[in-house]
Every structure is written in C-alpha cells, then in structure tokens.
C-alpha cells in the first residue's frame, strides 16, 4: 500500500509539472482530488489494510492528500497571477467608472422637501398598508358614499387595503400631537387603474397639512403661490378653480400656465394652455374631529399633488411609464 501511495504521488507531481493551462489543472484535480479520484480510491482501500499497518498507511494517505491539495492550490494561484500580469498594461489610460445619478422622482421629492422646509413644514410618514378607517372613514368618506368611487382601491381584505392617497397620515399626525401642526407627507400610493402614458397603478404623492388657530384660505393661497414660483419660476401664471373633495371644504384645484407651449396649446396641456398641478382646500370639520381637534377652536388647510406629474412638467417628460422601466438611457439624462 505504501508503494502504491508513492507511485500516485510521483504520477501527480509529473502531471502537475506538465499542466500548462487552467484546463489541464482542472483535469488534474478531477483525476486525483475529486470525490472519486485516485486519492479517494486509496482511502477506500484503507479498510483492507491489516490493523497493525493502518496507522502508518493512514498517516501517509493524509500527507498525500494535504500535499496534493496545497500543490494544486498553489499552481492555480500562480496561473491567476500570471494571467493578471499579462492583462495589465500600465501605459493604457484609465477607464472612468460611470457615476450613478438620482432618479428624477427622488430629485423632485428632495426639491419639494427643501422648498416646504423653508416655509416651516416638517415631514411625516405613514404605512403603505392602511385600514378602511384611516383611508376613508376618518377623511369624511361615509360608507357607500359616491366619493369612494373616485379612487379604485386594491383591497387586501375587507377592511385592509393599499392606501390610495397619503391623506391617512393626516389623521395619524393629528392623533399623535396637539396643534399647531405643519407637515408635509411624501410617499407611495396605489390605485387599480389602467396603465397608460398619464396614469400608473403605483405613483407618489406629497401632501401638506397645516392646523392652528385662525388658519385661513388666504394663507393656503399664499403658501401655494410661493411654492409654485419656487418650483416653476416666478413668471408662471396660476389660477384656482372650485372643486370637491370629501376631506376639505371649500376645495379648489390649482392650475399653472403651460410653460411647455407658453399657453399656445399642446398635448401636455390638452390644448387649453393650463396645467392642473394639485388639489387643495380647508380641512373639513369632520376630519378635524376624527383627528381629535375641536373645529370650533382650530382650522387648517391641506393640499396634495402627484410627484410624477410635477416631474413630468418640470422635465418635459411625456410618458409616466418611463419612471418605472429602469431604462438606463432615460435615467442617465438626470
């Protein structure tokens, strides 16, 4: 048995010297070191060795296996080192690594945070998975109210759903702290809508809530006008149009002049020269009550907008689906 071990070692050393490339080294490994290789076969034969010879034979086998494995590992390391040396050319110019950029939605969110922080707003967050109470009932959506049909909802169970707007966080903020409250609420929202150039099942909103004594609609308008001028420029025109929201009364939509066509008419503004950017209004007394505030002592305003829409207008993008396709050609532009 010891003579057989010596022959296997000599055969291994000879073939190791003759292994000129990685393919030959792999063949060597399979022949000698694999589970069914020659060295493993010697260990199988160990059971047939007389008991008095087993200690010496076992020691020789272990030494053979350790030697073969370390010699093979060293040969592999040398091959890799030589290969790296061959590929390295110090005379070549450096290869610059591409620098990533922030997603346009992330950029827009950060800019909105900066603008509203400058006007004294804090930031609040809430869960993406909501219950019916916070998403609808506490925001003045009574059961079977037709206003619930305004938003196609992804229901997880009867009373659990993916939030359709960031407004539920208003209730959570009011329940968590006494007035005054002045926060913005950015986050993802979900609606069961057909995916098109102008809508998606997942999008982002940013909402604002301000509650204190003697908050007026004039303060709301002043806040929105300052925001629009900071985001879109001081030359942009604006107007408000009455509308309906269950959670605000009175309510209004805010429009700005289409700076893409300079109000001459284009597909983005549907050829009327105006772009709707957000909805706003005075917080409904019922919403204040659900938040634990007395509407006879406090008043407030709220407004919200789609961040994708804001980014569309800001960067002149004509298809909301581009935000979610992860096309590097699109993202490199930002």
When the pLDDT of each residue in the chain is averaged and rounded to a whole number, the result is: 86
| Per-residue pLDDT at 299 | 97
- Three-state DSSP class for 123? strand
Cα of first residue to Cα of last residue in the chain, in angstroms, is 72
Global pTM reads: 0.67
| Per-residue pLDDT at 173 | 96
| Per-residue pLDDT at 327 | 86
Supply the DSSP symbol for 96.
P
Comparing 118-127, 224-233, 258-267, 324-333, the range with the smallest average pLDDT is: 258-267
Are 124 and 173 within 8 A, CB to CB?
Answer: yes
Note the pLDDT tens digit of each residue in 11-58: 888 888 887 777 888 888 888 888 788 888 887 887 787 888 878 878
More reliable by pLDDT, 73 or 118: 118
| CA–CA separation, 125 and 279 (whole Å) | 20
- Using CA atoms, how far residue 297 sits from 150, 258, 285, 290, in Å, is 31, 40, 11, 15
Note the pLDDT tens digit of each residue in 136-191: 999 998 887 765 666 688 888 888 999 999 999 999 999 999 999 999 999 999 98
Burial class (CB in 10 A: 0-12, 13-18, 19+), 47: exposed
- Size of the chain in residues: 334
Residue 128 has pLDDT above 80, yes or no: yes
| CA–CA separation, 48 and 254 (whole Å) | 92
Burial class (CB in 10 A: 0-12, 13-18, 19+), 157: exposed
Per the rule left: phi > 0, alpha: psi between -120 and 50, beta: everything else, 103 is beta
| CA–CA separation, 168 and 160 (whole Å) | 13
Burial class (CB in 10 A: 0-12, 13-18, 19+), 109: buried
Q: Classify domain 104-331 at the CATH class level.
A: alpha beta
Name residue, tokens 């985001």. Answer: 231
φ, ψ at 187 (rounded to 5°): 165, 170
Identify which of 141, 11, 119 has the alpha carbon closest to the alpha carbon of residue 71: 11
Q: Where are the domains of the chain?
A: 2-87, 104-331
Comparing 131-135, 182-186, 200-204, 255-259, the range with the smallest average pLDDT is: 255-259
Residues in contact with 109: Cβ distance below 8 Å, sequence separation at least 6, in sequence order: 186, 204, 206, 307
């Amino acid at each position: 048995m010891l003579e057989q071990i010596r022959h296997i070692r000599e055969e291994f050393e000879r073939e190791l010297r003759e292994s000129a490339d990685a393919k030959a080294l792999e063949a060597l490994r399979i022949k000698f070191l694999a589970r069914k290789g020659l060295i493993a076969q010697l260990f199988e034969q160990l059971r047939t060795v007389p008991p008095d010879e087993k200690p010496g034979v076992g020691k020789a086998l272990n030494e053979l296996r350790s030697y073969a494995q370390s010699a093979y590992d060293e040969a592999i390391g040398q091959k890799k080192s030589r290969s790296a040396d061959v590929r390295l050319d110090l005379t070549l110019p450096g290869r610059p690594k591409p620098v990533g950029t922030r997603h346009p939605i992330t950029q827009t969110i950060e800019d909105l945070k900066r603008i509203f922080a400058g006007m004294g707003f804090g930031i609040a967050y809430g869960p993406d998975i909501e219950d019916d109470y916070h998403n609808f009932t506490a925001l003045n959506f009574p059961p079977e109210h037709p206003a619930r049909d305004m938003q196609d909802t992804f229901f997880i169970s009867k009373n659990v759903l993916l939030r359709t707007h960031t407004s539920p966080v208003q209730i959570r903020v009011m329940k968590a702290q006494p007035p005054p409250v002045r926060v913005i609420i950015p986050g993802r929202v979900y609606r069961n809508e057909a995916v098109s150039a102008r809508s998606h099942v997942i999008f982002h909103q940013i909402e604002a809530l301000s509650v204190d004594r003697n908050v007026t609609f004039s303060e709301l308008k002043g806040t929105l006008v300052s925001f629009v001028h900071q985001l879109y420029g001081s030359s942009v025109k604006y107007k408000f149009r009455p509308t309906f929201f269950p959670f605000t009364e009175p309510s209004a939509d805010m429009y700005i002049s289409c700076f893409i066509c300079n109000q001459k008419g284009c597909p983005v503004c549907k050829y009327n020269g105006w772009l709707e950017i957000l909805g706003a209004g005075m917080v409904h007394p019922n919403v204040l009550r659900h938040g634990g505030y007395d509407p006879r002592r406090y008043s407030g305003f709220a407004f919200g907008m789609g961040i994708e829409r804001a980014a569309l207008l800001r960067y002149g993008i004509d298809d909301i689906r581009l935000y979610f396709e992860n096309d590097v050609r699109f993202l490199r532009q930002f």
